[in-house]
Amino acid sequence: MNDLLTNILTFAVLGFMGFRLVTGVQHSRTADGRSLVQRVWRNAGWRHVWPVPLLLAAVIATATVIMSVPGLDWGWWSAIGGDGNPVFGSSTATTGTVWEWLIPLAFMALLLPALPLFAYAEERLFRTGAEVWSHRRRALKVVQFGLVHALIGIPIGAALALSLGGAYFMWAYLRRFAIARDRTEATVESATAHTVYNFVIVVVVIVAVLADALV
């Protein structure tokens, strides 16, 4: 009965995530969505690419240390058999079946077109207006950015480590605002950094899933 309940919860989460991703794709096809997606990708450059490996290494190393603390390795998604981030669609409930690789690949295919939209939404929430915030409020927003990922199922320690990403995106926002003196441009800049970072992660996940499927 417990296994049945766990599987039901797992597929309910996967269904919800799939719905959210489809909604994101639909928005990316609207006039406003296309405009924002194009603006973010046109803004992307080498300055957004080279920091990603360093940032990922720092996040992984920090997460490894924090998650060694008892209790901080807990996440509700892993508690019901999920693996990593539920948006990647990996779960023990699909292990050994075609869904083990088909769901993650389908999720990634849906996620890619909407990456800038999701990133921009988070940047508006956690970075826009930061130029007038105190250092304390900026630090709080950085930590909040990390911890909000725990709500979607990422282990608490990993979510805290993601605050490093939040700090980097905050820096990108403030750097651009200092030059342009415009909140929208600064938000697009941090959203671009965020999008490129997420894009690299998605590509790594796709390669890993394909490699595992072909073994």
Question: What is the DSSP-derived secondary structure letter of residue 70?
Answer: T
Written as tens digits, the pLDDT of the chain (215 aa) is 466 677 778 778 888 888 888 999 999 999 999 999 999 999 999 999 999 999 999 999 999 999 999 999 999 998 888 887 888 878 877 777 888 888 888 989 999 999 999 999 999 999 999 999 999 999 999 999 999 999 988 999 999 999 999 999 999 999 999 999 999 999 999 999 999 999 999 999 899 888 877 76
pLDDT for residue 7? 72
51-to-46, 96, 173 alpha-carbon distances in Å = 9, 36, 15
| In contact, 130 and 173? CB cutoff 8 Å | yes
pLDDT for residue 1? 44
* Side-chain half-sphere CA neighbours of 39 within 13 A: 18
Q: DSSP letters of 120-171?
A: HHHHHHHTTTGGGS-HHHHHHHHHHHHHHHHHTT--HHHHHHTHHHHHHHHH
Find tokens 């826009």 and name the residue: 128
103-to-6, 22, 83, 87, 88 alpha-carbon distances in Å = 18, 13, 13, 10, 8
Tens-digit pLDDT profile for residues 51-100 = 999 999 999 999 999 999 999 999 999 888 888 788 887 887 777 788 88
Query: What's the CA gap between 109 and 93, in Å, rounded?
Result: 21
pLDDT for residue 2? 66
E strand or H helix at 100: helix 99-126
Residue 91: phi, psi to the nearest 5?
Answer: -160, 150
pLDDT for residue 88? 81
Domain locations in the chain as residue ranges: 2-214
